[in-house]
Each structure stands twice: as C-alpha cells, then as structure tokens.
Chain A
C-alpha cells in the first residue's frame, strides 16, 4: 500500500468548480445521469412487463365476466352503464353452472388485482426516467406514443385506485363505482393493447437471450441484450445495494404478503382468519347458523323489525294475477334445499351455506307460468343502496337450486341475511341475491 497525499483544498475546489455545470445538468431528471440505480434496464422492465401482460389480461377478462354476470342487458334496473353502446358487444346470459363460478372469477379479479400492486409499482419505477426524457417528442409517432402512455399509466392507477377503494367501502371517487371502473378499464385496456404490441418484440428478444441466472446474480442493468438507446439503463450507475434477484424478490415478497393476507376472505373457517387486512377477513360476524359474512346489515339499509314482522307480505305478481303471501303461507309450500355460496363483487365470498325455501320456478307457477318460467323483477324492502330492485333471467329462475330462501343452515334467516325471505341463485353476484324481498313480478321487467 502506497500513501497517496490527499488533494489540497485548492485542488479540490478547482475540480468541483469545473464539474459544477455537469452536476447542475445532472440534477435535472431529464439528464440520463440523474438516474443512478443500477437495477434499471430493459431486462428488469421486460420481466415485470411480462408478469403484467398476463396479470392485467386476467384482470380485464374477469372484469368483463363480472360485468356480464350482472346481466346488464336484461333490464334497466341491472344496468349501471346504460350508455355502454358497443362495449357490451360480448354480453351473454350468465349461467348458473358451476354454482361457484362468480365466486371464482370475482375472487380472482380482486385477489390477483391486489397481488399485482407491487408489480405495477415496480414496473412504473423501472421506466420512470422515460417520463422526463427530452426532447418531449422526436417525431409525430413518438408524440402519439407518449400520449398513449398517459392513458396507460393514468388508466392503470385510476382503475386500481377505484377498485382498491371500493372493496374498502371508501366511496371517495367522483361518481358511481360501476361506470368509473368499467369505462376506466376500457380506456386503460385500449392503451395496454397498443403498448403490449409495440413492446412485445423487444421483450421477447431480451427474455429469449437467456442468461436468466447470470442476470439475477448481477447488479448492472447493462448486458449484451440491453439496447442502450431505450434510455432505461443508467449510464453512470451508482454502487449497487441489492442484486436484481434481491429486487425482484422484494417485489415478489410484497405480492406474496398481500396475497397471503387477502386470499383467505374467499373461504369460511380458518382461511378467513389469515386474511388480516382484507375487508372481509378475520372473524365471522356473530355466532350460530347465521354467522357468515354480511355485505349490508338490515340497519344500514333502513330495514327494521316494524316492516319484517307479522305485517310482512310477499307479493307475487304475474299477468292478471297477484297473490299476497304470509311467511307461514310460504313455509306451507314445498320446501327445497340448496348449498350455495354468497359471492360479492368486492371479491370476498363464503363457502356453501345450506339454504332452504321455495323454488323460484314454483312461485312462477303460482303467478301463472306453469311450464316455462320467465324472468323476474325482485323488489326489496330496503330504503337505501343500489340494487333495491334487481332482475333475474329466465335461466336463473328455472334452475331448481334458485330459491326464495326462508331458512339457512337449519335456522330462520337472521335479519342481516334477509329475514323474512331472500333470493339465492347459483353463480349470481351477491347483489342479485336480493334480501328482505317484498315483491316478485314474473314476466315483466
């Protein structure tokens, strides 16, 4: 070891003065030298982008399925987006089989969405230098692509924010959740498809170049396959504090933590206790046969005992025929049992509960439809909340498991589960399983 004399104060001052203009330029985020992380690079972005390519596609498809599950084309009461136009091109009759269908698709939609948040944040971090890149546009094509990226990033954050807030019942967004999330998703997806198509060749090239292990071990973004001109890799990277493997591990760990503390809200029993932060995780409400998850309590929607007691009547209406039935009348009709879950648009669901009551198609027969039961308009006693009225399609009414339930798990319905009577239909979203039913109108929506 040889001693090197420390530079004199004067020399140091001179060097730093000479470097000053460079430093000032480097302080602007438009300067490539501003961005120092050695992790950034085409490969890192390509890995995250590939995860999002599959993840976002799954979210979009399950989102479209959830939209179809409401049967918005059946009746105006089901349709929160009447001006959808061509965006409803794919709508179809939502099936009743398998009975856990909506539980699966919507559980995936919300759980995968929450799980992808760290990946989205990491992806946005990895491409942040490009936001500040100068000149603003090299060409008309470049300008259009940057405009498209605003729709992509704004759209992704908008859709994730509305979704995450909605499942927590924090309705601070400007308007009704349904149109905001639905149209926002279409704006996002339009930009997403273009972005994926434009970046796919480069992504495939970088990922197929191989050397996965080597790349995970190293720190620097630069590699033989990094195309320098894309401006992602830092030209003067700082000393690494973490390997690529470590960084991807942190992103994956964040996803795993969110998944592990959310997924349990789709199951009864011990798994629900593991969902520490999910809105319907933790404990079941109350005790006894009615101790399973509630979306809206009777109190929260203005249904009190004064209207659900002896004075309650169910109106069953058909063409030229209107019946008024007491709860005892209903219990006197043929009783059937069906094991069905409650599955909410908010992503949580219960396991199968043993419901018993009168088949909807038997009530349709009472209303005058002996053979082929038609669609039905269901009305609730509730004073507040959306879907106080909801329509069910004929395939839902005809399913032998579709009930006007009076009892659950061997006991009368609790007030919060819809006493005196509620609808339960296989594979339907929770809001279409109307509680505190006051009227069924068959054939006219």
Chain B
C-alpha cells in the first residue's frame, strides 16, 4: 500500500508543477487552456471555409452583428426604456409599477418588428412572386397586434386600478393600506 501511494505521489508531483507553471504564466488552469485551444482549432477550421468566398463582407457581417447589437440596439432600447420610466413612472419614481403597462406591449411589438421587419416593411419583392401569397398582410397584422397589445395592457391597468380603488374604499380609513 505504501509503495502504491508513493508511486502516485511521484506521478502527481510533476503534474502539480505543470499546473502551477501554467497558472503562473497563463492565469488559468491547464484545462482552460486545452479547452480554448480545441475550440479555436475547430473555429479556425470552419472559419477559413466561412471566409472563403467574400471574406471582407462576411467578416463585416460577423463582427458587425455583435457591434450593432452591443453598441446600437442595446443603448437605443435602454434609452427608450429610461424615457418610458421617466415619463410614466413619475419624477420621484413613485409610480414605477405603471411602467410595465407601457413596457410590455412596446417590447413585444418591437420584438415582432425586429424579427419580421423584412416582411412587415415589404422589403422582399420576391416573396409574392415565389409563394403566391399576399405580401401586404404583414404590416396590417403587426399594427393590429400592436394595437391589441396596448389595448389589452390599458384594460388590465384599468381593472387593476378599479379593484385597487374598490378595496381601498372598502377598507375605509384604515391606515397602512399601501403596498408592501
């Protein structure tokens, strides 16, 4: 038993030294390095084929997609969200819960537009020619769904406000009826 123990120690000792060395120069464990190297090898193998045709435009699309999302799309929707919060939520933020009644329908409507904008904005002349389906229905549907989302949200808000007012009047002048 002792001998076996000693031999494993002899094996693990150099391994530990390698690990410590990798950690010192690389900053992470050796598994991290191996995993990323394998990942880059596969990505490179597929990447040269991805870039084989029109490498400039493909690279522009690949990197541009990330930049467009991170530096344009997110700041724009974050700013819009702040504007909604400031407008609807009240100056001191006392009516924050109201923001959701605008946020939710707006976010869902814009999500549909983001995904289906080529059809909704009639960017695709070949659609009608290829499928024999009408291309002008998508804008109408989007507007109707958007209207329905906002109308539903307004209805929900009205119902909540009405039931809150009712329960407030029922509990009379009892104090501490505010939200928890």
Contacts and interface: CB of A to CB of B under 8 A. Distances in A.
A246 B33 CA distance: 39
A139 B62 CA distance: 26
B174 interface: no
A197 B31 CA distance: 10
A194 B40 CA distance: 9
Contacts of B112: 257-258, 261, 277
B58 A174 contact: yes
Given A190-B40, A254-B108, A83 B49 contact: yes
Interface residues of A, number: 78
Contacts of B47: 183, 187
A283 B116 CA distance: 18
Interface in B101-131: 103-104, 107-108, 111-112, 114-116, 118-120, 123-124, 126-127, 129-131
Contacts of B54: 174-175
A179 B111 contact: no
B26 A174 contact: no
B70 A131 contact: yes
Nearest to A149: B66
Nearest to A143: B27
Considering residues B50, B70, B129, which has the most beta carbons from chain A within 10 angstroms of its beta carbon?
A: B50
Interface in B129-144: 129-134, 137-138, 141-142
Interface in A142-194: 142, 144-145, 148, 150-151, 153-155, 157-158, 161, 164-165, 168-170, 173-176, 179-180, 183-184, 186-187, 189-191, 193-194
Given A117-B111, A128-B70, A141-B26, A282 B133 contact: yes
A13 interface: no
Given A151-B43, A157-B65, A416-B132, A258 B28 contact: no
Given A148-B40, A174-B58, A280-B133, A250 B126 contact: no
A151 B62 CA distance: 8
B50 to A, nearest CB: 4
A300 B104 contact: no
Contact of B61 (A114, A174, A254): A174
Contact of B50 (A169, A187, A257): A187
Contact of A183 (B49, B65, B126): B49
B115 A191 contact: no
Interface in B37-80: 38-40, 42-43, 45-47, 49-50, 52-54, 57-58, 60-63, 65-66, 69-70, 74
B104 A253 contact: yes
Nearest to A124: B69
A155 B35 contact: no
B42 A190 contact: yes
Contact of A194 (B38, B49, B119, B137): B38
Interface stretch (B10-18, B92-100, B155-163): B92-100
Given A168-B127, A277-B119, A285-B132, A158 B52 contact: no
B45 A85 contact: yes
A285 B131 contact: yes
Contacts of A174: 53-54, 57-58, 60-61
A258 B116 CA distance: 10
Interface residues of B, number: 66
Q: At the interface, is chain A mostly helix, strand, loop or mixed? A: helix
Interface string B153-176: 000000000000000000000000
A143 to B, nearest CB: 9
Q: At the interface, is chain B mostly helix, strand, loop or mixed? A: helix
B159 to A, nearest CB: 18
Interface of B: 25-28, 32-33, 35-36, 38-40, 42-43, 45-47, 49-50, 52-54, 57-58, 60-63, 65-66, 69-70, 74, 85, 89, 93, 96-97, 99-100, 103-104, 107-108, 111-112, 114-116, 118-120, 123-124, 126-127, 129-134, 137-138, 141-142, 145
**Closest 3 pairs (CB-CB, A-B):** A139-B27, A141-B28, A174-B57
Interface of A: 81, 83-87, 114, 117-118, 124-125, 128, 131, 138-142, 144-145, 148, 150-151, 153-155, 157-158, 161, 164-165, 168-170, 173-176, 179-180, 183-184, 186-187, 189-191, 193-194, 197-198, 239-242, 246, 250, 253-254, 257-258, 261, 276-277, 279-280, 282-283, 285-286, 293-297, 299-300, 416
22 contacts: A85-B45, A85-B49, A87-B49, A114-B115, A117-B114, A139-B27, A141-B28, A141-B36, A144-B36, A153-B69, A155-B62, A157-B69, A168-B124, A187-B47, A187-B50, A191-B39, A194-B36, A277-B116, A280-B131, A283-B134, A286-B132, A295-B130
Given A141-B36, A258-B111, A297-B131, 12 more contacts: A81-B49, A87-B45, A117-B111, A140-B25, A144-B36, A168-B116, A175-B58, A241-B85, A241-B97, A276-B145, A282-B137, A283-B133
